[in-house]
Amino acid sequence: MKKTFSIGGVHPNDSKISSGCRIEVLPVPGTVYVSMLQHLGAMANPVVAVGDKVKVGQVIGEPSGFISAFVHSPVSGTVKSIGPRKDLAGWNITHVEIEVEGDEWAEGIDLSDTLVTEIPQDTKAILDKIKLNGVVGLGGATFPAHVKLCPPPGKKAECLILNGAECEPYLTSDNRIMIERSKEIVVGAAIMKYVLGGCPAVIGIEENKPEAIAAMKAAVAELQANAKGYDGISVMVLKKKYPQGGEKQLIDAVMHRQVKSMGLPIDVGAVVQNVATSLAVYEAVQKNKPLITNTLTVTGDCLPMERQHNYLFRIGTPLSFIIDQMGGIPEAAVKVVSGGPMMGKAIVNLDATTVKGSSSLLFLTAAQTVRKEQGNCIRCGKCAEACPMGLEPFLLNKLAKNRMMDELEENAVHDCIECGCCLYTCPANIPLLDVIRIAKGDVIKIIRGRQAAARAAAEAAKAAEAAKAAEPAKVAEPAKK
C-alpha cells in the first residue's frame, strides 16, 4: 500500500502533458530584469549602480534581513537601470535591468559537467555557500534555504524529506530534473543531510512519475555503491493525491507525524526541501554556481504537443520573451498562470520577469478556468471532506462573511494552507477559498498582535521585576491563548 497523507485531498486530472519533453536551454534574451524580491522575506538591496558592468553570477543584490537572500546577475552585461517595474501581479518591485553583452562568468564558478560526489565536511562552509549563492526553496514558497537547514537550538532534524511529489496538475519541471539530473539531486540531498547531522533522507515521489522514480532509485543505488556519505537516502513512492506536495501533508505521508497548528516542520523533526532546491544546493556547494537558472514548464491543453516545453531559463528572462520563444499565446487561452492550476498565480502583466520560484507558464482555456455562477450551498460537506487540514470551509465561509473573528479562530481558519481543494470541489461553485484566504490573514494578524502584546507585557513585567531588585521573581503570565 503506497503512502499518502491522512486527511482530505482531491484527485484532479494530473494532465502531465509535457512530462516527456526533455529540458531545453532557453536562449538568453537581449535584456533581463532581475527582481529584488524573489524570495520570502525582506527585499534585497541592489549593490550595483547604473552603468556597472556585471558578469554572470556576480552579486547584484544583498539580503536586508535574516530572512532574505542574495541575488546574482544571470547574465553578463551593463546595468541599464534600477527602479520599480511591475511584477506579474502588477505591483511595483525594484528590478535591476541588465543589457546582455556576451556570456562572461564570474570567477570561481565550475562550469564543467563532471559530477562531484565527494561531500565537503565543513558544515559552516556548506551553509555559507548555500547562503552566498542565493539558494531559496523552489517548491513555491521561496523560503531562503540556509535558514531551513539551521534548526533552532534545541530542535533536531530526524528526517530530511525531499519533495518530488509535484502534485500540482500540469507541472513537469521537477519530474524532468529528477529524470535528467537525478545524481546531482541525490548529491544535493546528501549534502543537506550531512548539514542536518546525518539524519535519514527520503525522496518522496508520486506514483504518476514512474520514469523519475526509476531514475532516482538508480541514482541513489549507484552513488551508495561508489561514494561515501550516501547511506540512509531512500526513494519513497507516494499515492497520487493533491496536495501531497504541501509541506505538512508530505511530512504526514512520509513520517506519519502531523505538524501542530502554527507550528514548523522542525517541531516534528522534519526538514522538507524541494528536489529543485536540492539541485540548486548541489550547484551552489559543489560547483559554486549561484541560483541563476531554473526549470520552467510551458504547457496547457490548448497547446499542441510540439509546443509543450520544459525550459532551462536564466532567472530574469521576461515572460514575454519565453512566450515569443514558444510561439505566442495560443488562441484558445484566456488565462496564463504562473505555477500550477491549483495554487499558481494568474498573470496580469506578461512583461513581468521570471524569478527564482518561476516553475511554469500554464495556458488555460475558458472552458477550464472561467468560474461558473455561484449557487446555493447544498450542505453536501464535500469541501470538508476535501480539506487536507480537516477544516470546514462551508462554516468558515459563513463566519468570514459575518466577520465573526473569534469563531473563525476557534475553527482554525489560520490552519488553512490555501491549497484550493474546497473551491475545486464545491458543486455549487461557492468562492470558499477567496473568502477564507482573507479571513485567514485577518485572524493571523489578530493572533500575532496578541502574541506581540503578550511578549510586550511579559517584558514589561520582567523589567518591573528587575527594577524591584532581587525579590523572587513571579513569572509574568502570558496573555491567554
Partner 1 sequence: MNKLLISPSPHIHTRTSTASLMRDVVIALLPTVIVSILFHGWSEIIVLGVSILSCVLLEYLITRFLLKKPSTICDWSAVVTGVLLALNLPATSPLWMVIIGAIVAIGVAKMTFGGLGQNLFNPALVGRVFLLISFPVAMTNWAPVKGFIPGVDASTGSTLLGMVKEGGIEALEGTSYLNLLFLNIGGSAGELSAIAILAGFIYLLARKVIRPHITLSIWLTVFVFSGIMWLIDPSQYTDPVFNLLTGGLLLGSVFMATDYVTSPMSAKGGIIFGVGIGLITMLIRYFGAYPEGMSFAILIMNATVPLINKFCKSKKFGR
Partner 2 sequence: MTQTIIWTIAIITLLGVLLAVVLYLVAKKFKVEEDPRIEEVEKVLPGANCGGCGHAGCHAFATSCVGASSLDNNFCPVGGNETMKKVAAVLGMEVKEKAPMVAVVRCNGTCENRPRTNEYGGYASCRVKSALYCGDTGCLYGCLGCGDCVAACAFGAISMDPATGLPVVDEEKCTACGACVKACPKGVIELRNKGPRGMRVYVQCINKEKGGVARKACKVACIGCGKCAKVCAHDAITIANNLAYIDFTKCKLCRKCVAECPTGALVAVNFPVPKAKPAAPVAPAAAKVEKPAGAVSVKEAPAALASEKKTVETKEEQK
Q: Which residues bind partner 2 (CB under 8 A)?
A: 37, 43, 86, 89-93, 345-346, 348, 369-371, 431, 434-435, 437-438, 441
Collapsing DSSP to helix, strand or coil, 247 comes out as helix
Peptide bond connecting 63 to the previous residue in cis, omega within 30 degrees of 0: no
Q: How far is the CB of 323 from partner 1 (least distance, A)?
A: 12
Site for partner 1, residues 161 to 180, rule: CB under 8 A:
169
In the bound state with partner 2, the residue whose beta carbon lies nearer, of 281 and 352, is 352
291's CB contacts (< 8 A; 6+ apart) are: 72, 133, 134, 135, 136, 280, 283, 284, 315, 356
Q: What are phi and psi of 65, to 5 degrees?
A: -175, 180
Residue 346 engages partner 1 in binding (rule: CB under 8 A): yes
Q: How far is the CB of 43 from partner 2 (least distance, A)?
A: 7
Per-residue interface string for the shown chain with partner 1, residues 192-231, x marking contact by CB under 8 A: ----------------------------------------
Q: What is the Cα–Cα distance from 151 to 330, expressed in whole angstroms?
A: 46
Binding partner of residue 37 among partner 1, partner 2, none, CB cut-off 5 to 8 Å per kind: partner 2
Q: Judged by CB under 8 A, which stretch of 54-62, 118-126, 427-435, 467-475 contacts partner 1?
A: 427-435
Place of cell 514512474: 210
- Sheet of 92-100, strand order: 31-35, 92-100, 77-86, 53-54
Q: Judged by CB under 8 A, which stretch of 99-107, 148-156, 370-378, 468-476 contacts partner 1?
A: 370-378
Per-residue interface string for the shown chain with partner 1, residues 376-395, x marking contact by CB under 8 A: xxxxxxx-xx-xxxxxx-x-
Pick from 336, 341, 333: which is nearest to 361 by CA? 336
Task: Please give the DSSP secondary-structure letter assigned to residue 372.
Answer: P
Per-residue interface string for the shown chain with partner 1, residues 12-31, x marking contact by CB under 8 A: x-------------------
Binding partner of residue 355 among partner 1, partner 2, none, CB cut-off 5 to 8 Å per kind: none
Residue 470, CA distances (Å) to 409, 456, 465 in order: 40, 22, 8
Residue 343 engages partner 1 in binding (rule: CB under 8 A): yes
Per-residue interface string for the shown chain with partner 1, residues 240-269, x marking contact by CB under 8 A: --------x---x-----xxxx-x------
Binding partner of residue 252 among partner 1, partner 2, none, CB cut-off 5 to 8 Å per kind: partner 1
Q: How far is the CB of 350 from partner 2 (least distance, A)?
A: 10
Number of Cα atoms under 13 Å in the Cβ half of residue 353? 26
Q: How far is the CB of 90 from partner 2 (least distance, A)?
A: 3
Binding partner of residue 92 among partner 1, partner 2, none, CB cut-off 5 to 8 Å per kind: partner 2
H/E run at residue 422: helix 421-425
In the bound state with partner 2, the residue whose beta carbon lies nearer, of 86 and 450, is 86
Contact status, residue 313 vs residue 294, Cβ threshold 8 Å: yes
Among 434, 445, 448, 460, binds partner 1 (CB under 8 A): 434
Q: How far is the CB of 372 from partner 2 (least distance, A)?
A: 11
Q: What are phi and psi of 105, to 5 degrees?
A: -90, 150
Residue 352, CA distances (Å) to 50, 100, 233 in order: 20, 18, 39
71's CB contacts (< 8 A; 6+ apart) are: 34, 35, 36, 38, 44, 59, 60, 61, 62, 96, 134
Contact status, residue 295 vs residue 176, Cβ threshold 8 Å: yes
Task: Please give the DSSP secondary-structure letter assigned to residue 275.
Answer: H
Q: Which residues bind partner 1 (CB under 8 A)?
A: 7, 10, 12, 169, 248, 252, 258-261, 263, 329, 331-337, 341-348, 350, 362, 364, 366, 368-372, 375-382, 384-385, 387-392, 394, 411-412, 415, 418, 420, 423-425, 427-429, 431, 433-434, 437
